[in-house]
Each structure stands twice: as C-alpha cells, then as structure tokens.
Amino acid sequence: AQTTQLGGKLRAGGDVEVPAGETVQGDLYAAGGTVRIEGTVDGDLVAWGGQVQVLGEVTGDVIAGSGNVDISGQVGGDARVGAGQVTVGGSVGEDLVVGSGQLSLTSGGEVGEDLIFGTGQMTLDGRVDGDVLGSTGRYTKRGTVGGTENVNIREREEEAEPTFGDRLLDVLQRFVSVLAIAALL
C-alpha cells in the first residue's frame, strides 16, 4: 500500500504510483519497490527503489537511483540517474547524466542537450542534440549526435597465464609467510 505525507509530496510503499490523469503540483519524493509515473509531476521527481518508470510527464528534473529506470515519457529538465539498467525511449529536455551497467537510448529517445555517462554498455539509437561525453566498455551508435562526441571505450584486460617464475615467486612468498607466522607462535 502506498502511504503519502506532506500533502502528497512524499510517497512510499511497495508500489508508488501517480496514475494517468493525476497531476502532482510541485516536487515529488517517491520510494518503493516500483515507482510508476503515468500522470504528471509539475515539478521535480526524486525517486529510488527497485524500478522507476516515467511513462507520463515530469516538467522539472528527474533524479533516480534504482535497479532499473525506464523513461518512456517526457522529462522537461535534466535527468540524473544511477541504476543497473537505464532505458530512455521518451524525451529528456535538457541533460541526461547516467551511471549504470547498461544504458539504451532507443530509436524514439531524445536528449535536448548533452548526454554524459559512465556505463558498462551504451547503445545510442536515438537523438542527442548536444554533446556526448562518456566512458563505457562497449559502445554502439546508430543514432545522431548534434554536437561533439567524446566516448572512451575501455578495453577489457585479458588476464595472462602466470609464468613459471610467477608461480615460483608465489610459492616462495607463501612459504616465507608460513615461516614468519610459525616463528611468531
């Protein structure tokens, strides 16, 4: 069950929902297993939980910390997201800043200004009107970037097979450690 406090400004529970047709005047702070915005938040949304879904409209900024974030609706301001997986299929009017394992800007996704990210995997199929700046393990781009694009792709470091010398040194270190502990005892 959803509980509300501060005149509806703070909502918490297993499922927190702003249903279609409802408008929250001012900022909304929401915490729950699932936070689902189908209506309108006329202000900022600060949300945390297992899953955050913005299917309706947030006229201000979105700040979300979650396992999964889905922005299929409209965000008028900035979106700042920290999540395991982020999918943007709607529009973000200003900057989109993401730290996640996986970020997907789908073909219907739009960012009005800059995209800044640090991810394990990034897929850009939509449109970014400003600059793109980020660091990722894998980058796939089929969409458009209106400004500059500066993406650092981190290569996975392959662990080399230890040499005979490495193994011998490891055995000697363990032997000396055992001797030191024995001497102390």
Which band of pLDDT confidence, cut at 50, 70 and 90, is reported for residue 13? confident
User: Six-digit token pair at 38?
Assistant: 């189908």
pTM of the model as a whole = 0.80
- What token pair was written down for 142? 């089929």
* CB distance 40 to 22 below 8 Å: yes
Q: What is the pLDDT of residues 52-61, one digit of tens each?
A: 999 999 999 9
Residue 20 vs residues 9, 23, 41, 82: alpha-carbon distances, Å: 17, 8, 11, 26
Query: Regarding predicted confidence, which is higher, 74 or 181?
Result: 74
Q: How does pLDDT run across 52-91, given as a tens digit for each residue?
A: 999 999 999 999 988 899 999 999 999 999 988 999 999 9
Dig out the tokens for 91 from the structure.
């529009």
Q: Could you tell me the strand order of the sheet in which 57-58 lies?
A: 23-25, 40-42, 57-58, 74-75, 91-92, 110-111, 127-128, 144-145
Considering only residues 158 and 76, tell me which one the structure prediction assigns the higher pLDDT: 76
Whether residue 12 has pLDDT greater than 90: no
